[in-house]
Amino acid sequence: MTMVGDTKNMDARRPVYLDYQATTPCDPRVVDAMLPYFTEKFGNPHSRNHAYGWEAEEAVEQARGEVAAIIGADAKEIVFTSGATESNNLALKGAARFHKDRKDHLITVVTEHKCVLDSCRHLEQEGFAVTYLPVKSNGLIDPEALAAAITERTVLVSVMAVNNEIGVIQPLAEIGRLCRRAGVFFHTDAAQAVGKMPLDVNAMNIDLMSISGHKIYGPKGIGALYVRRRPRVRLQALINGGGQERGMRSGTLPAPLIVGMGEACRIARIEMADEADRLRRLHDRLLTGVQQRLPDVYLNGDCEQRIPGNLNLSFAFVEGEGLMMGIKGIAVSSGSACTSASLEPSYVLRALGVDAEMAHTSLRIGLGRYTTEADIDYAVDHIVGAVSRLRELSPLWEMHLEGIDIKSIQWAEH
């Protein structure tokens, strides 16, 4: 099997994959674990009456245990969904609608994933009030601001554990403590955190947690929602039907995908510490490599409170999409407007207070399990080369070298 990090295959025109926040390849061990459940052990896990059902159910329950183990939960507290987007929808809408008569206020953060923000907008249309907390320039929330925003009508606080664009880690334990004291539910979208940093739902006082399969070398199309049982968190289901997953999520459980997710969690739990060390070294190698050869490169997001597998870098005076075109040998993503459907730059970077022009200059680089040192060195060369070339083409770089303050110019926007 060709691993994505095969640097020697670069001439075969497949770029080096450095977009691990977007998705991850399945670990081969995950695929091996899944395969029997497609054609041999293909039974419906809810078929109570025969061995086909029993063997599928047994595999699902074992996987459920693995998902619970990696976050310090009980297996009974894991509900399988189609992914973190569904989990986020279920957590927010499910909790809000269940408690609507007594509580109608939610708190979240401006840098959350679109599915959280959009679910909140939707709930606002249903009559709920939502507070969107700002973040500091390092991307972290101010716990005091959160405490001040909580009212007796607040049902839930939703703060993502690790941000998908800039990789910063929010102060989960502190947020959990605040919420527990105030008697509000704490939900965290942990899609980018599970398997990358230690998580403990009890130590951190987390009541709801969204988990994504395809961010941890598992298959796409599967996720989970952790739902605390003690004290019990009640949710109104989004999907009605046969009452599977304790009534919280009807539908036949996709045994192969769940087995894959379980295996992914098992592997991540065992290899997490070593992998984090390795990624930290690669992260530092990339950052140092680039900053040593290029001036005016900025890391977005707190430099300490972050997962090592993410670097969001702004290259002043060079536009992000133009840069991406020049680094076809590596697969990354950009915080530039051009690469999103609208012409607005990344809302996450803007929330950090990054100027619009700097937001247009950023690249998000994601490292992962199959990234090698050779990949990093290649990426550094490639990026340095492209940025240098584009700075030669850039009127802003020219002005900068001439000592002109770009902010002082009156631009005629059209």
Partner 1 sequence: MSYSEKVIDHYERPRNVGSFKTDDSDVGTGLVGAPACGDVMKLQIRVGAGGIIEDAKFKTFGCGSAIASSSLVTEWVKGKTLDEAANIKNTEIAQHLALPPVKIHCSVLAEDAIKAAISDYKKKHGA
Binding region for partner 1 (CB under 8 A): 317-322, 325-326, 336-339, 343, 345, 355-357, 360, 392-398, 406, 411-414
For residue 365, which of 341, 388, 382, 352 has the smallest C-alpha distance? Answer: 382
12 vs 343 by CB, closer to partner 1 = 343
Alpha helix (H) residue ranges in 107-252:
114-125, 143-149, 172-182
182 vs 396 by CB, closer to partner 1 = 396
The distance of closest approach from Cβ of residue 176 to partner 1 in the complex, given in angstroms and rounded to an integer, is 38
274 vs 413 by CB, closer to partner 1 = 413
In contact, 200 and 69? CB cutoff 8 Å: no
E strand spans, 342-410: 362-366
What crossing angle do the helices spanning 373-393 and 255-293 adopt, rounded to 10°?
A: 60
One DSSP character per residue, 181-198 reads HHT-EEEEE-TTTTTTS-
The distance of closest approach from Cβ of residue 330 to partner 1 in the complex, given in angstroms and rounded to an integer, is 16
111 vs 394 by CB, closer to partner 1 = 394
Residues 6+ apart with CB under 8 A from 410: none
What does residue 170 show for φ and ψ, rounded to 5 degrees? -80, 155
DSSP for residue 406:
G
Exactly one of 120, 179, 303, 338 is catalytic; name it.
Answer: 338
In contact, 316 and 296? CB cutoff 8 Å: yes
163 vs 334 by CB, closer to partner 1 = 334
Alpha-carbon distance 370 to 275, whole Å?
Answer: 10
Alpha-carbon distance 123 to 127, whole Å?
Answer: 7
The residue type at 229: R
In contact, 170 and 209? CB cutoff 8 Å: no
The distance of closest approach from Cβ of residue 408 to partner 1 in the complex, given in angstroms and rounded to an integer, is 12
The distance of closest approach from Cβ of residue 406 to partner 1 in the complex, given in angstroms and rounded to an integer, is 6
302 vs 319 by CB, closer to partner 1 = 319
The distance of closest approach from Cβ of residue 403 to partner 1 in the complex, given in angstroms and rounded to an integer, is 15
Alpha-carbon distance 185 to 91, whole Å?
Answer: 10
The distance of closest approach from Cβ of residue 365 to partner 1 in the complex, given in angstroms and rounded to an integer, is 19
Q: Is 338 assigned a catalytic role?
A: yes
Alpha-carbon distance 112 to 159, whole Å?
Answer: 7
Q: How many angstroms separate the most distant Cα atoms in the chain?
A: 79
For residue 41, which of 30, 54, 52 has the smallest C-alpha distance? Answer: 52
164 vs 346 by CB, closer to partner 1 = 346
Alpha-carbon distance 65 to 77, whole Å?
Answer: 10
Alpha-carbon distance 365 to 309, whole Å?
Answer: 8
Other CB atoms closer than 10 Å to residue 316's CB: what's the count? Answer: 20
374 vs 406 by CB, closer to partner 1 = 406
Three-state DSSP at 119 gives: helix
The distance of closest approach from Cβ of residue 346 to partner 1 in the complex, given in angstroms and rounded to an integer, is 11
- Say which residue the tokens 């984090």 belong to: 276
Tokens found for residue 351: 């929330």
The distance of closest approach from Cβ of residue 293 to partner 1 in the complex, given in angstroms and rounded to an integer, is 21
- Enzyme catalytic residues: 338
